Amino acid sequence: MAGRSKKRILVIDDEPDIRNICRRALTLAGFEAETAANGEEARQLVGRNDYDLYLVDIRMPVLNGEEFYHWLESEQPQKAQRVIFMTGSSASDETGRFLRTSGRAFLLKPFSISELEQAVRRVLKETAG
């Protein structure tokens, strides 16, 4: 979007506290942040808005993070590289395998505000252009 100076981030997590903390932290760090409670709600927002980065929980009801990611890969492949996953279940074989094969950045819950901001800035820098 021409003329937009702030990077726009969509936070997708079924836990309201996580969504709100991330949204506030990202806003204070100078980003525009919106939230969605699951992957289906996020798909609807992606259809109406342009985002620079997606912060996606892996385990959610309705449409989980892996399903959302595969949808984004098929619909807007250039945007799929701008995903950072969040998970509290990296120890599970299934989640670990998915994170390795996706090649995307991820944050292990609980993560600090500093870790969140560093990951966001790193992925935005790596995917600029």
Q: Please give the model's pTM, rounded to 2 decimal places.
A: 0.93
Tens-place pLDDT, residues 71-116: 999 999 999 999 999 998 656 788 889 999 999 999 999 999 999 9
**Residue 91 domain-assigned (yes or no):** yes
**Residue 111 domain-assigned (yes or no):** yes
Strand pairing partners for 36?
Answer: 12
**Residue 80 domain-assigned (yes or no):** yes
Q: How many domains does the chain contain in total?
A: 1
**Residue 3 domain-assigned (yes or no):** no
**Residue 92 domain-assigned (yes or no):** yes
**Residue 2 domain-assigned (yes or no):** no
**Residue 46 domain-assigned (yes or no):** yes
Q: Residue 108: which domain range?
A: 8-126
Question: Tell me, what amino acid is at 90?
Answer: S
User: What is the CATH number for 66?
Assistant: 3.40.50.2300
